Structure 1
């Protein structure tokens, strides 16, 4: 009897401790546990208009492997739709994607209220954080895709100097090409000629047709293009010395909507459950996956009385 009493006492203590640890008052940025359906805590925090509509309206351009647009101009496959479906399940929302013509259209569309977000992935910058919340879910370096039959003689990123490079207008790559050009001229080489186009497919076609010597894109996009036709392309990667570094890529949502913190925690749910990494591995991008979801990482953080404490997922 004494032994049975001791076991019962231990079980009671364990139950009480579990109840204490399941306190719904979580620390800022802490994500609830994942399940097979909507996470009520996150659903309850959604902006009312989005929760009532039951739809997450997202802008998207043609940007393999993140988004590949079908010939009908509406069917979208790739990493982004898979990720959207997972986020939609967690938030109890149906994701709907509208195809837009590049980044500027996505940004203006969000600010006008047509779209709730844009999953780029786009570089998190302090300038963009003035209008948008940025949920950082991957990193990247800049790569230059070159047709194997090219006579341009591009074997290293230094060989890009003096060449014509097609890249998406307003993209992270356009900024990287400026940095590479600065390195080229500093080292007595010719500047890179930038050819701005609407989407990644257009830049690849420009390189393939000879209009450009190379197509600039994220390394993930270059890996995807090479994998689809391994004998057709090679690529070189911009170095730290040439100003590249590792960039933080994000989903953007209008700051005024209040959706940003909820999406951050929904991403964290997927990361903690392992589903995020499974999706990244499916598209060969696990080498650029993050270990922690970032949030508005570009703008300088202030400190002092009245300043908010950083969240657990920042």
Structure 2
């Protein structure tokens, strides 16, 4: 018994519709339900993965890592969630051991971005797009139990300073050491460690006289461990200045310009201000995000 052509044609049409509905070659149907206007500009690799993978070390209050070693809260988590919402994709953070692991992991395509806080430099901009979203000054956390000889940043000359290796603090400590030499004082003994928690423990245990970190991080530690620490802040005279803090994204990925637009969106919709206000970071907030400011300057 032969099947009428009209029936065959109808069946074929239904099959085509079903294939399209399942994503059979129609690019438009591949867009997730939460896709935004910025989603279409994302690199294909990010669209296929459906997630932006961030590297991050333990660095309160930016990244507060729970005892399970995986759950992360803090400024970075909230900023990344806001960016993911603007882009229409999920975000996730993988905990790594310090800045070198984050940088090498991004260049090896294990991670898409690293939110620092990391200083924007011309050298880093050779391999990474750097989206500046805040500024900072360097402070030094001092245990009250051993702080009698450190009343100001000038008293740090000749002292042991723990800091995250390769971080802004290491660079600032070098500038402070130069200032110490100009004053005829002994150099700082910098102890490079993997993360901020390690630097705090070094100061608490007496391995270091102070722990260098961003001022916001120092304030966070003092709030959580009341009556344990005091802190001093490096001055402009001592080479401190104001450092530009950036999110780093490998240039080869093509994600940088889209991420800049996502930052612009969270500035525009108020999410950026909401997060900075929540953590008391109004003094280090910027008016607008910018990309690759070090090379431009």
Q: Same fold (TM over 0.5)?
A: yes
**Number of aligned pairs?**
265
Tell me the TM-score normalized by structure 2.
Answer: 0.87
**1:298 is paired with a residue of what secondary structure?**
helix
- Which residue of structure 2 lines up, in the alignment, with residue 48 of structure 1? 44
- Does residue 258 of structure 2 align to residue 262 of structure 1? yes
Tell me the TM-score normalized by structure 1.
Answer: 0.82
How far 1:274 moved relative to its partner?
1.3
Q: For 1:285 and 1:151, how far apart are their aligned partners in 2?
A: 26
Task: Pick one of 105, 109, 131 that aligns with 2:105.
Answer: 109
What is the correspondence of 1:1-314 to structure 2 with a 5 Å cutoff? 40-300=36-296
> Is the contact between residue 166 and residue 216 of structure 1 (CA under 8 Å) also seen in structure 2?
yes
How far 1:138 moved relative to its partner?
0.4
> Is the contact between residue 65 and residue 72 of structure 2 (CA under 8 Å) also seen in structure 1?
yes
How far 1:123 moved relative to its partner?
0.3
> Is the contact between residue 120 and residue 250 of structure 1 (CA under 8 Å) also seen in structure 2?
yes
How far 1:118 moved relative to its partner?
0.3
> Is the contact between residue 38 and residue 90 of structure 1 (CA under 8 Å) also seen in structure 2?
no
> Is the contact between residue 181 and residue 191 of structure 1 (CA under 8 Å) also seen in structure 2?
yes
Q: For 2:158 and 2:148, how far apart are their aligned partners in 1?
A: 10
Structure 1 segments, 4+ long, off by >2 Å, are 37-41
Gaps spanning 5+ residues in structure 2: where?
Answer: 1-32
Q: For 2:82 and 2:34, how far apart are their aligned partners in 1?
A: 10
Higher CA-based Rg: 2
How far 1:39 moved relative to its partner?
6.6
- Which residue of structure 2 lines up, in the alignment, with residue 34 of structure 1? none
